[in-house]
Structure 1
Amino acid sequence: MLILPVQEVVVLETPKTGSLALRAMLGPYTVPQSDKAPRHIGHDAFRRKFAPDLVMGLGRLPRTVAVVRAPLERMQSWYRYRRRPQLKGLPASTHGVSFDEFMLAYLEGTHPDMANVGRQDRFVGWDGGHARVDHLFDYAQLALLERFFSGLTGDILTLPEKNKTPKKVNADYALSPEVLARFEAENNEELAMYRAVAAAGHLMRPGVGAKLSSSAH
């Protein structure tokens, strides 16, 4: 979670969506509390645990921002990330595990260390039509996110490359039609959420004020 007090914005860091790069880009504008807060806290937990104190400090509830990613691509990223040499032999490792097996472990709730992946629709509070997060950005269109924060800060901002899985880590993403169909059926809300964000590039919650939305164009 990143707190930008001057801009009155909180960034909720969705796992596997470039959050370390976002931290590096926004570091000059955040407060020290950002380093002490849980990194990957979702919207509902943010509202319960942190929003009341921020309202007292800022005088109003800050707007929330998050990035979301194509769900299957995000699963591939988790699978490859957990194939890093330093994880070999550990419960979280995907060494010796096919992508099909990894996906089944995720769907069936087995091997919790290896297949521990949260759903993005729950992270952003998606209700089937809208998110509770004020501003959602597509990971595939991050130029819109850079433009948004450039407008808020008055500086030209670009995202650096951070926490990329080394290129030497190979992964085969072959997936059986049956497992893919099951993933799409059981994660239909997450997929619907991502399609809405991808279509907009920058999806704003209804009722969000013009103060922030105008800077994104």
Structure 2
Amino acid sequence: MLLFWKAKLVLLAVPKTGTTALEEALLPHADAAILNPPDKKHVTARRWRAQLAPYFENKGARPLETMAVIREPVDWLKSWYRYRARPEIAGSPASTAGIDFDAFVTGWLSYPEPEFARVGRQSRFVSDASGRVIVDHLFRYDALPAAVAFLEGRLNCTLTLPRRNVSPSAALALSPALEARLRREAAADFALWDSIGR
């Protein structure tokens, strides 16, 4: 999470959406940053509003706006699957080594999720308890230049994004039946994605 006081803006870091690269490029411009540990870095919109906004915002002043990047849901799950297949965590409960992508997505749709599939949901990250989106500015991962242009305009700077936390590449596909189930049971995530203009 990065906070830009003069620009009245907070960048919320949705996992696996390129925010590590954004943070690295933006850190010199930020007034406050939470970069570690990961569970604190990835402050949800709900947690921002309930716990951090009251601390950072001046009473009676214009509230800080929030922004986040969202990834297409199947692509987001593929990125998580590949990230958790990396050799350095093989053998841990979070590893997807030896598990196919269908099993990972089936685990993600389960309750409770097995450890290897416990990665949260983008729709919950940006919403309040009722499911209403509470992030002011949402951008698509596949149109990251729009987010960069927005930030350059708000911060009056030029940004160059490094490549960071890139998951290993692998061809992945879901079985048609499981993809249909995913689209039904994660409808909020697909609706969120579809609601964001390019």
Note the 1:1-217 alignment, pairs <5 A: 1-35=1-35, 38-56=40-58, 59-109=61-111, 112-125=114-127, 131-167=133-169, 171-197=170-196, 200-201=197-198
Q: Which moved more, 1:179-188 or 1:151-160?
A: 151-160
Does the residue aligned with 1:50 lie in a helix, a strand or coil? helix
For the 8 Å contact 2:82–2:168, the answer to whether it is kept is no
- Which ranges of structure 2 fall in alignment gaps of 5 or more residues? none
- Number of corresponding residues: 195
State TM-score, norm by structure 1: 0.83
Q: What is the letter of the counterpart of residue 185 of structure 1?
A: R
Structure 2 length as normaliser, TM-score? 0.90
Contact 2:16–2:79 (8 Å) recurs in 1: yes
C-alpha distance in 1 between matches for 2:78 and 2:168: 14
Offset, 1:124: 1.0
- Cα RMSD of the aligned pairs, angstroms, is 2.1
Give the Å deviation of 1:61.
1.5
Once residues 29 and 57 of structure 1 are traced to their aligned partners in structure 2, the CA distance between those partners, rounded to angstroms, is 24
Tell me by how many angstroms 1:57 deviates: 8.2
Deviating above 4 A after TM superposition, structure 1's stretches of 4 or more consecutive aligned residues are none
Q: Provide the rounded CA distance (Å) in 1 between the counterparts of 2:65 and 2:149.
A: 17
C-alpha contact 1:17 1:68 (8 A) present in aligned 2: yes
8 Å contact from structure 2 (residues 4, 32) kept in 1: no
Structure 1 residue ranges without an equivalent (≥5): 202-217
**Conserved 8 A contact 1:99-1:172:** no
**Contact conserved, 1:54 with 1:60, CA < 8 A, in 2?**
no
Distance 1:33 1:117 in 2: 22
